Amino acid sequence: MNKHEQMLAPELAQLMRILLLLSLFVLFQHLTLAQSVQKPKLTVTPLNDQVYVHTTYGLYRGTPVGSNGLIVKTKDGVVLIDTGWDTDTNTDNTRDIVQWVADNLHQPIRLCIVTHAHEDRVGGIHELRKAGIRVVSTPLTAQKSVKLGYESPDGILPNDTTFTIGQEPIRCYFAGEGHTSDNIVVWLPNQKILHGGCLVKSVAAFGMGNLADANLNAWAGTIQNVMKQFGDARIVVPGHEEWGDKKSLEHTLTLLKKHAAAKK
């Protein structure tokens, strides 16, 4: 090593120490931020004296996002539409829903209907099974749930079926592919309430959200089928964000058009 190199060596060592400290600082900040992201707790909002929206939160791209399902009170117990947004290692959200029903409605949960195989719909199946609650879906959703690493719901629902629990008719309807290949909607004819799930976008939504398993070519036609079947809906509950009237169905079509135009 010549004299010039000997003179530079301490400076290079100092520079390396500074870079190492900066890297550690950035890593610490990243870990602190990740730990500081707190998901809101369960909220339950009444739509009337029989039907409630349960909203639980998961992380989507590092941000807490609410997911909507239904709690339907009947004369013979409660029916859930979708589990809480849980994972294969944490089912706290669904546990909170079960506890809320016990504390506030004082009725057993007879059944849960899951509307498609994503974790915001099926993530809490194990928790419900532990509580002795039956979970049902279409055969396709049951198959897809297992592939995702979740317990399989009972895949017994035809593509269009209506059954009654405690004098409350419930219709499960597959209108076609859209958000996923297996997405169904659930219709409560006595209440004129439609649970559109993730097939339907809230009027508050600015984009299409998770399109990983979407069929963008079929989605608009599927929404049109829903509009024909449930044109007298008073309340439409989307899978995420705000709920309201049938405007969310039209808004979903608008977002699909905008998404298609942006791709051209």
210 an active-site residue?
yes
Which of 82, 86, 96, 120 is an active site residue? Answer: 120
Own/partner contacts of 167-175, CB < 8 Å, gap of 24 or more, are: 167/74, 167/75, 167/76, 168/50, 168/72, 168/74, 168/75, 168/79, 170/72, 170/79, 170/113, 172/113, 172/138, 173/226, 173/229, 174/138, 175/199, 175/222, 175/223, 175/225, 175/226, 175/229
d(CA 98, CA 233): 28
179 an active-site residue?
yes
Which of 54, 96, 116, 183 is an active site residue? Answer: 116
Which of 126, 210, 215, 225 is an active site residue? Answer: 210
- Helix 247-263, helix 216-229: angle, nearest 10: 160
Which residue is listed with tokens 């090593």? 1
**Beta bridge mates, 144:** none
54 an active-site residue?
no
Measure CA 249 to chain center: 18
4 an active-site residue?
no
213: nearest Cα among 177, 184, 240, 249: 177
Per-residue tokens: 83? 């589990």
Which residue is listed with tokens 């994972």? 87
Which of 54, 179, 240, 251 is an active site residue? Answer: 179
118 an active-site residue?
yes
The alpha carbon torsion through 167, 157, 54, 200 (nearest 10 deg) reads -110
Q: What 3-state class would DSSP assign to 260?
A: helix
Which of 54, 86, 93, 118 is an active site residue? Answer: 118
Measure CA 87 to chain center: 11
Neighbouring C-beta atoms of residue 190, cutoff 10 Å: 13
Residue numbers annotated as active site: 116, 118, 120, 179, 210
